[in-house]
Amino acid sequence: MSNASRALQRQLGSALRRSLSIVLSIAASMVVGSLIMLWYKQNPLEIYGLLLKGAVGTQRSVFISLQRATPLIFTAIASTIALRAGVFNIGTEGQFFIGAIMGTYVGYAFKLPMVIHLPLALLVGFLSGAAWAFVPAIMRQKLKVSEIITTIMTNYIATFLISYLTNYPMRASPVTDQTPPVEPTARLAQFVELNKNLGRATQAHVGIFVALAIVVLVYFVFKRTRLGYEWRMVGTSSSFSEFGGIKLDRAFISAMLVSGGIAGLGGAVEILGVWRTYKNLFASGFGFRGLLAALLGGQTVIGSTVAALFYGSMEAGALGVDWAAGVPRQLIDILVGLVIFFMAAEGMWAFVQRIKWVRAPGTERRTTKDLEV
């Protein structure tokens, strides 16, 4: 057998094994979910039916799914870039909201024609997200301080900074900690504003196309550019890539900055498309959910996008279940948490590897070394 076909077989095998473990994980978590529903005195089949209906059952639910998925696509892609370069950017959460508040600021503080105003607000969102990732990136590369701890810290600093901004200098309402509304020239149009039959009673907006453009762009960067090649190489083996002439600092730091930037852009898009004003603590968890989507999607650009769409539509479905049957919508986060549990537990799937055709040759075994801080 030639090397090429063997490599292809290996790739197919690992993809197959991966899909199988996803399917089994989802099935396992659905079983646990059914038990929860039975305890809640609900019929699991009915609830899963409602979940599906709420996710894709009607035109409206499809649009709600898109709206919920849009921010997750950004954070999932941001996480994917970092993970592929071997960095754990837990800071997407903070970068997302910093991008959102800065995008809001540009959105309400300036009066410009739309062709300048909207791109400017998005650009500022990107840049401020990247800036928020800068300190952890530098601390990791120059001081060898774990980016996990530093990005957790910057997340909280972002939360308090934004609480200050929305309560004092940017506050517009005497009643709530909320900024002035974004000028119409900086808004991303909602579908219903374009055509009143499209996504009626939803806030789905054209930001989904910005998200998809980023997906295509990042896919291209990974496949076709030197930067993407360097990210992949340093993520696979940093000592080998240094030997191969890749500047590690440049690769790591740029991956972290671009990751932060995309998260920040996602924040700006969420504000300009859905909310059009920044209400303090309007939501949370975009960064963490995006990270989970990236992990579900196997840390590939396409996989993470699909996973983010899936996660978003499940959230929409959970909203439907909450309205229709009174089952708390947090159920979906519980289920996704369980899927991650089952999927990440390689050791539990040891029996799967015993089946010959799903076994991937040369899969790495983790040692105690991986657990080290």
Partner 1 sequence: MDPQLVDILQRYLFNVANLQGMLRLATPVVLAGLCALISSRAGILNIAGEGFILFGAWFAVAGSYFLHSAAAGVLAAILSGLVVGGIFALFSLKFRAHIIIMGIAINIFANAATIFLTRAVFKQAGAFSDPSIQGLDPIHLPIIRNIPVVGDVLSGYSVIVYLTWILIVATTIFLYRTPWGLHLRAVGENPQAAETLGINVQRIRFAAVMASGFFASLAGVYLSLGHLKMYTDQMAAGRGFIGMAVNTFGRGEPIGVFLASLLFGLVDTIGWRLQGERIMPVYFVSMLPYVATLLALTVFTLRQQQARKQAAAANTKEE
Residues forming the site for partner 1 (CB under 8 A) = 39-40, 88, 90, 135, 139, 143-146, 148-150, 152-154, 156-157, 159-161, 163-164, 167-168, 285, 288-289, 291-292, 295, 328, 330-334, 336-338, 340-341, 344-348, 366, 368-373
Euclidean distance between CA atoms 183 and 206, whole angstroms: 17
For partner 1, the closer of residues 30 and 123 by Cβ is 30
Query: How many Cα atoms within 13 Å fall on the side-chain side of residue 329?
Result: 16
Taking the complex as a whole, the smallest distance from the CB of residue 110 to partner 1 amounts, in Å, to 26
Between CA 190 and CA 79, with CA 204 as vertex, the angle to 5 degrees is 120
Q: Could you tell me how many helices (H) and strands (E) the chain has, helices first?
A: 15, 0
For partner 1, the closer of residues 272 and 295 by Cβ is 295
Of 65, 18, 67, 21, residue with least CA distance to 314: 65
Taking the complex as a whole, the smallest distance from the CB of residue 313 to partner 1 amounts, in Å, to 17
Taking the complex as a whole, the smallest distance from the CB of residue 174 to partner 1 amounts, in Å, to 16
For partner 1, the closer of residues 169 and 245 by Cβ is 169
- CA-based end-to-end distance of the chain: 42
Taking the complex as a whole, the smallest distance from the CB of residue 2 to partner 1 amounts, in Å, to 33
Q: Which two tokens stand for residue 339?
A: 């899927």
For partner 1, the closer of residues 126 and 132 by Cβ is 132
Taking the complex as a whole, the smallest distance from the CB of residue 142 to partner 1 amounts, in Å, to 9
Taking the complex as a whole, the smallest distance from the CB of residue 341 to partner 1 amounts, in Å, to 6
For partner 1, the closer of residues 126 and 310 by Cβ is 310
Of 50, 48, 71, residue with least CA distance to 61: 50
Taken in order 146, 82, 208, 125, the sign of the CA dihedral is: positive
Q: By the 8 A CB rule, do 21 and 349 touch?
A: yes
For partner 1, the closer of residues 1 and 373 by Cβ is 373
Residue 183: strand, helix, or coil: coil
For partner 1, the closer of residues 211 and 318 by Cβ is 318
Euclidean distance between CA atoms 211 and 208, whole angstroms: 5
Length of the chain (residues) = 373
Taking the complex as a whole, the smallest distance from the CB of residue 206 to partner 1 amounts, in Å, to 29
Question: CA distances (Å), 262 to each of 25, 141, 210, in order?
Answer: 29, 21, 11
The C-alpha torsion from 235 through 240 and 245 to 251, rounded to 10°, is: 10
Taking the complex as a whole, the smallest distance from the CB of residue 167 to partner 1 amounts, in Å, to 7
Helices (H), 144-247: 147-167, 191-194, 207-224, 226-236, 238-243
Tokens 């009673």 locate to 201
For partner 1, the closer of residues 244 and 337 by Cβ is 337
Taking the complex as a whole, the smallest distance from the CB of residue 165 to partner 1 amounts, in Å, to 9
For partner 1, the closer of residues 119 and 337 by Cβ is 337
Residue 178: strand, helix, or coil: strand
